Amino acid sequence: MSASVLDRHATLVQAGELRPDADQVKAVSALAKVQSKLEAAQARGSSVWRFLGRKPEPARGLYLWGGVGRGKSMLMDLFFDSVQIQHKRRAHFHEFMIDIHARLKAERVKEKGDPIPPIVAALAAEARLLCFDEMVVNNVADAAIMSRLFSGLIAAGVTVVTTSNRHPDDLYKNGLNRQLFLPFIDLVKESLDVIALDGPTDYRRDRLGSAKIWLVPNGPKATTALSETFFRMTDYPPEDRGHVPTLEMEVGGGRMLHVPKALKGVAVFSFKRLCAEARGAADYLAIARRFHTVIMVGIPVLGPHNRNEAARFVTLIDALYEYRVKFLASADAEPDHLYPQGDGRFEFDRTVSRLMEMQSEDYLAEGHGPR
């Protein structure tokens, strides 16, 4: 459907699906400008203009930043969907960087010098518009190449639109060798329009409402309550419950994890899948980075014979807590009666305490990301 993101947004507000929000209106008009430039550039790239020997001027990109639940991802999705050009790509930033490192590795094997230019050329040929959700930089490997990668992309005429919880100046804050990263910050400020989307309302928190976070006992009642929360948080029509997307995600070292339900940053797992199989910190950190909300069903009361499950559960909760992930669960007992005895019972106290804190208003109001 060809429509400006501006019109589509207005329609959603009129229909009552979105609440009126002044900051969102500002962001949408900025996105609409990018949209019309991109579409015009594609039109000018067609034969007549090329015949005249004029190169279409690329559209300047956007850096949309603000607190959690402000509607950044929602607006970017609407924008991405509205833009009528042939070559566009939307990626989760973390996964995009994993792809980049794989390409770097492949280029280095060829031993043909600087690996970045051929990667930039390939990416630019694949997409004129690159949209990233949740730009966050938390490792030196990404930090060290981002400036060259993105200046290459922008110079090649690729339009970059990204969301982030942080102002560009605060990206990779206190990171190792941050000086390697500073040119990227300059690049963002020079080449992208930096727009705050930071209104007073955390709409996600609103949607979570007064939903219970920890439901006891396991059973149909708890499952129904959790799935209602899932549908509310993801805007997914409950009638279509048979078709909720699944995800195969890489969790480090080439290992994969099947996520039975994954949508808009919310994942649903069973206790069995995450804690009864051989999984470890790397898997849990990958989950914590990727999802802002994890719903876990079927947590049993654990005994001495479940020491491995209990230890994995401790590691999982540490990872989720570290990244301020919202954790909703159904279990056969309240946290403090979950693991009455067994190896590591003492350490489990910390988990109990974290689980209590993770149900608090303060925790739930915090943004997703490393502490």
Ligand X SMILES: Nc1ncnc2c1ncn2[C@@H]1O[C@H](COP(=O)(O)OP(=O)(O)OP(=O)(O)O)[C@@H](O)[C@H]1O
Contact residues for Mg ion, defined by CB under 5 A: 73
Interaction partner, residue 69 (ligand X, Mg ion, none; CB < 5-8 Å by kind): ligand X
Interaction partner, residue 227 (ligand X, Mg ion, none; CB < 5-8 Å by kind): none
Query: What does 269-300 look like in DSSP terms, one character per residue?
Result: EEHIIIIISS--HHHHHHHHHH-SEEEEEEEP
Q: Can you name the residues that pair with 90 across neighbouring β-strands? A: 131
Residue written as tokens 């974290």? Answer: 354
Residue 152 vs 367, nearer CB to ligand X: 367
The site for ligand X (CB under 6 A) is made up of 18-19, 21, 24, 68-74, 134, 163, 165, 203-204, 207, 235, 292, 367-368
Tell me the Ramachandran region of residue 134: left when phi exceeds 0, alpha when psi lies from -120 to 50, beta otherwise: left
Residue 295, burial from CB neighbour count under 10 angstroms (0-12, 13-18, 19+): buried
Residue 291 vs 313, nearer CB to Mg ion: 291
Residue 196 vs 333, nearer CB to ligand X: 196
Residues with Cβ within 8 Å of 71's Cβ and at least 6 positions away in sequence, in order, are: 18, 21, 24, 27, 197, 203
Shortest gap between Cβ of 43 and Mg ion (angstroms)? 31
Q: Can you name the residues that pair with 61 across neighbouring β-strands? A: 192
Shortest gap between Cβ of 172 and ligand X (angstroms)? 17
CA angle 130, 135, 139 (to 5 degrees): 120
Residue 18 vs 187, nearer CB to ligand X: 18
User: In terms of Cα–Cα distance, which of 154, 367, 128, 336 is closest to 265?
Assistant: 367
Residue 65 vs 348, nearer CB to ligand X: 65
Residue 229 vs 306, nearer CB to ligand X: 229
Query: Which residue minimizes CB distance to Mg ion?
Result: 73
| φ/ψ of residue 266, rounded to 5 | -115, 130
- How far apart, in Å, are the Cα atoms of 122 and each of 80, 103, 115, 133? 21, 10, 11, 21
Shortest gap between Cβ of 37 and ligand X (angstroms)? 23
Helix (H) or strand (E) holding 265: none
- If one counts every other C-beta atom within 10 angstroms of the C-beta of residue 323, the result is 21
Shortest gap between Cβ of 98 and ligand X (angstroms)? 19
Tell me the Ramachandran region of residue 87: left when phi exceeds 0, alpha when psi lies from -120 to 50, beta otherwise: beta
Interaction partner, residue 70 (ligand X, Mg ion, none; CB < 5-8 Å by kind): ligand X
Shortest gap between Cβ of 330 and Mg ion (angstroms)? 26
70/113 Cα distance (integer angstroms): 43
Residue 64 vs 120, nearer CB to ligand X: 64
Interaction partner, residue 292 (Mg ion, ligand X, none; CB < 5-8 Å by kind): ligand X
Interaction partner, residue 7 (Mg ion, ligand X, none; CB < 5-8 Å by kind): none
Residue 197 vs 331, nearer CB to ligand X: 197
Interaction partner, residue 298 (ligand X, Mg ion, none; CB < 5-8 Å by kind): none
Shortest gap between Cβ of 272 and ligand X (angstroms)? 28
Shortest gap between Cβ of 9 and ligand X (angstroms)? 9
Shortest gap between Cβ of 7 and ligand X (angstroms)? 16
Shortest gap between Cβ of 133 and ligand X (angstroms)? 7
- The pair of structure tokens assigned to 152 is 């290459």
Interaction partner, residue 204 (ligand X, Mg ion, none; CB < 5-8 Å by kind): ligand X
Residue written as tokens 């939903």? Answer: 211
Q: At what angle do helices 307-322 and 281-290 cross, to 10 degrees?
A: 40
Residue 23 vs 193, nearer CB to ligand X: 23
3 state SS of 235: coil
